[in-house]
């Protein structure tokens, strides 16, 4: 890499560059992505993944995937497997796979060392008392009466805690730091709690489990991580991160905080997403309305669109909310390049071409990738006397500036013929059931030999050949731009569930060109003039189900 290319585009790269300059980490770059396996990854995690893996890729370094599995009551193997699959799908490979639980023995031994050195003690205050003793932002805390108990007593109690002699919550191990510190994290943070719970990997071996702050930095250290990147909420935990490492006198990684990704209309909290799943608001973690990576995949998002989006938004040190339209822009951009074009009519009205021979079928050859001049692939769409067009493409009494089909006007049926509407058939309620047209046989391909121009071009499907398919269309799951910004619920807490939209899923039947009958789960198409659609895993051979991924209109590019 040339010096110029190396000019840093984000502040974390500046730090890495400076470290490489000073030789702080011997020019190593070793990052980690540390998810807690208590749910599926969401779009916020994608940002962290792109950042950590991207940084290592750029500097020829390494990235560990480390499951932060220190809270056995919430963690499950299902989540571990889902998280691995999502990272691979996004396009990244970890160099090493670790679990914080790999270090339970080492962490326990280190805790004993801190007790022996008078830097940790067993505290028997109740949770309420501990809260009271901790003080407030304006008032220092008070020392626990157990704080100065003899080392031997703490050692004994810690051993007995570990052996399962006490019930949950009876006592904790705390670091002995400073109850008067302005930084709350220094007011004798808890290192271990008693939890008689089955762990997804260590089984019933342990009934004391390390707290996040005690596990995280030491895990980073053991793995030789250089830059431990986390979100801003952990800024005040950094001094504690450093304190443990200093007092254990072990290798010291550098914690760096960046602003978490907030996206309008998207909920990025595993806990809350789990609630949506558990209460049946959505049909699982991979519901196409979910901001999870598995939901986005099912919705038709491509890995590249998500990676490009993360690149575009960059890495900041201040929290902000990114507009959902920006993510959509990245998605359209990618789908526009890769999606084959197809004819599909979403809301049909029948058109009868009265002067077209009955029983005749023509094969219309259309470009599959008209957006890509290099790709000359074509496919064939059958044309016949009766076709469907979109109901919105015909108006008996047109509104001003309406360019599509109206009585007496000639328009183009895409790649087929020019047709002119002559009359309509209505049912007894006055709804149009058929539009009658005539066609000009001299306009095959959609252009007149005499060069006359028409304004409207419509997509269509042959009524007898079209395949009816289920289409699922979605709106934002939440009505509020910031879904967490909610009225107070009964318990006095903010009730974000009040922002859940009632009818975010609409199921309709569309008529698609025959080639789409065998679409397989994950196949994406642009339905001409309408939007991007992806075949859902619920598809069966000959019976595809399509999810509407996104419409064609880009509200972001306009800005
Ligand atoms: P959640 O509240 O959804 O569980 P979390 O931060 O607790 O989020 P973890 O599994 O602990 O989830 O996170 C793994 C990594 O992903 C962490 O390094 C965390 O900082 C990062 N991360 C999580 N959410 C976001 C986000 N919205 N933007 C950027 N990074 C995030
Ligand atoms: Mg978490």
Structure tokens at 85: 């699959």
Q: Is 36 in the pocket of ligand 1 (CB under 6 A)?
A: yes
Half-sphere exposure of 466 (CA within 13 A, CB side): 27
**How many of the other CB atoms lie within 10 Å of CB of 185?**
18
Active-site residue, 307 included: no
Domain ranges for the chain, please list them. Answer: 3-262, 264-338, 342-466
Q: What is the pTM of this model?
A: 0.94
| Rounded (5°) CA angle 46-94-311 | 35
Q: Is 270 in the pocket of ligand 1 (CB under 6 A)?
A: yes
Nearest-angstrom CA–CA distance, 68 and 54: 21
Q: Is 178 in the pocket of ligand 1 (CB under 6 A)?
A: no
> Which ligand sits closest to the CA of 273?
1
Q: Ligand 1, closest atom to CA 260?
A: 28
The domain over range 3-262 is classified in CATH as 3.40.50.720: no
**Selection from 135, 125, 139, 218 nearest residue 174 by Cα:** 125
User: Among 32, 94, 231, 319, which is best to mutate for testing ligand 1, by the most ligand atoms less than 8 A from CB?
Assistant: 231
Q: Is 141 in the pocket of ligand 1 (CB under 6 A)?
A: no
Active-site residue, 160 included: no
| Rounded (5°) CA angle 350-353-357 | 130
User: Among 40, 45, 327, 482, which is best to mutate for testing ligand 1, by the most ligand atoms less than 8 A from CB?
Assistant: 45
Are 222 and 253 in contact, with CB atoms under 8 Å apart? no
Q: Which residue has the tokens 């509020």?
A: 480
What is 342-466's CATH number, 2.40.240.10, 2.30.30.40, 3.40.605.10, 2.60.120.260? 2.40.240.10
- Of 66, 187, 193, 270, the active-site residue reads 270
DSSP state of 174: E
Length of the chain: 559
Q: Which residue has the tokens 């009494």?
A: 397
Are 77 and 311 in contact, with CB atoms under 8 Å apart? no
Nearest-angstrom CA–CA distance, 486 and 425: 50
Q: Is 189 in the pocket of ligand 1 (CB under 6 A)?
A: no
pLDDT in tens, the chain (559 residues): 334 344 456 899 999 999 999 999 999 999 999 999 999 999 999 999 999 999 999 999 999 999 999 999 998 999 999 999 999 999 999 999 999 999 999 999 999 999 999 999 999 999 999 999 999 999 999 999 999 999 999 999 999 999 999 999 999 999 999 999 999 999 999 999 999 999 999 999 999 999 999 999 999 999 999 999 999 999 999 999 999 999 999 999 999 999 999 999 999 999 999 999 999 999 999 999 999 999 999 999 999 999 999 999 999 888 889 999 999 999 999 999 999 999 999 999 999 999 999 999 999 999 999 999 999 999 999 999 999 999 999 999 999 999 999 999 999 999 999 999 999 999 999 999 999 999 999 999 999 989 899 999 999 999 999 999 999 999 999 999 999 887 666 666 778 888 999 999 999 999 999 999 999 999 999 999 999 999 999 999 999 999 999 999 877 666 6
Write down the pLDDT at residue 492. Answer: 66
352 alpha-carbon distance from chain centroid = 45
Q: Is 269 in the pocket of ligand 1 (CB under 6 A)?
A: yes
Structure tokens at 335: 């789908």
Write down the pLDDT at residue 4. Answer: 38
Structure tokens at 346: 């979403």
Active-site residue, 385 included: no
The domain over range 264-338 is classified in CATH as 1.10.3720.10: no
**How many of the other CB atoms lie within 10 Å of CB of 559?**
9
In angstroms, what CA-CA distances link 158 with 22, 192, 215?
A: 42, 9, 17
């Amino acid at each position: 890499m040339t010096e110029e290319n190396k000019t840093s585009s984000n502040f974390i790269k500046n730090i890495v560059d400076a470290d490489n300059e000073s030789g702080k980490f011997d020019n190593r770059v070793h990052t980690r992505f540390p998810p807690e396996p208590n749910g599926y990854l969401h779009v916020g995690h994608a940002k962290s993944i792109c950042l950590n893996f991207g940084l290592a890729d750029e500097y020829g370094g390494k990235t560990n995937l480390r499951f932060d599995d220190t809270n056995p009551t919430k963690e499950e193997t299902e989540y571990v497997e889902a998280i691995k699959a999502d990272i691979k799908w996004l396009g990244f490979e970890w160099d090493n796979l670790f679990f914080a639980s790999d270090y339970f023995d080492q962490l326990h031994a280190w805790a004993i060392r801190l007790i022996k050195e008078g830097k940790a003690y067993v505290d028997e205050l109740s949770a309420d008392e501990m809260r009271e003793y901790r003080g407030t932002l304006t008032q220092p805390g008070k020392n626990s009466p157990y704080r100065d108990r003899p080392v031997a007593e703490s050692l004994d109690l810690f051993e007995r805690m570990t052996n399962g002699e006490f019930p949950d919550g009876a006592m904790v191990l705390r670091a002995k730091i400073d109850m008067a510190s302005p930084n709350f994290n220094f007011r004798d943070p808890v290192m271990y709690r008693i939890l008689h719970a089955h762990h997804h990997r260590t089984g019933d071996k342990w009934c004391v489990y390390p707290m996040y702050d005690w596990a995280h930095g030491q895990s980073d250290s053991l793995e030789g991580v250089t830059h431990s990147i986390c979100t801003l909420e952990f800024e005040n935990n950094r001094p504690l991160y450093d304190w443990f490492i200093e007092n254990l006198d072990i290798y010291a990684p550098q914690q760096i905080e960046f602003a978490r990704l907030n996206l309008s209309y998207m909920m990025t909290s595993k806990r809350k997403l789990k609630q949506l799943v558990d209460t049946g608001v959505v049909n699982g973690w991979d519901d196409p309305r979910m901001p999870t990576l598995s939901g986005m995949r099912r919705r038709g998002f491509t890995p590249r669109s998500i990676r490009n989006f993360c690149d575009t938004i960059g890495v900041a040190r201040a929290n902000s909310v990114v507009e959902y339209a920006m993510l959509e822009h990245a998605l359209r951009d990618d789908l526009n390049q890769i999606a084959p074009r197809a004819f599909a009519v979403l809301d049909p009205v029948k058109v009868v071409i009265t002067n077209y021979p009955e029983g005749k079928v023509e094969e219309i050859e259309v470009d599959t990738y008209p957006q890509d001049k290099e790709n000359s692939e074509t496919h064939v769409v059958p044309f016949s006397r009766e076709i469907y067009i979109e109901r919105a493409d015909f108006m008996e009494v047109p509104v001003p500036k309406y360019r599509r089909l109206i009585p007496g006007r000639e328009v183009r049926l895409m790649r087929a013929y020019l047709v002119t509407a002559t009359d309509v058939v209505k049912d007894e309620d006055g709804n149009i059931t058929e539009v009658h047209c005539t066609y000009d046989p001299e306009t095959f391909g959609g252009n007149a030999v005499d060069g006359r121009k028409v304004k409207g071009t419509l997509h269509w499907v042959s009524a007898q050949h079209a395949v009816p398919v289920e289409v699922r269309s979605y709106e934002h799951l939440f009505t509020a731009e910031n879904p967490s910004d909610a009225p107070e619920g009964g318990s006095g807490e903010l009730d974000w569930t009040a922002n859940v939209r009632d009818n975010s899923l609409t199921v309709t039947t569309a008529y698609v060109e025959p080639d789409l009958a065998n679409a397989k789960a994950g196949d994406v198409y642009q339905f001409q003039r309408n939007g991007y659609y992806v075949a859902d895993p619920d598809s069966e051979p000959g019976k595809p189900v399509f999810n509407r991924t996104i419409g064609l209109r880009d509200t972001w590019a306009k800005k």
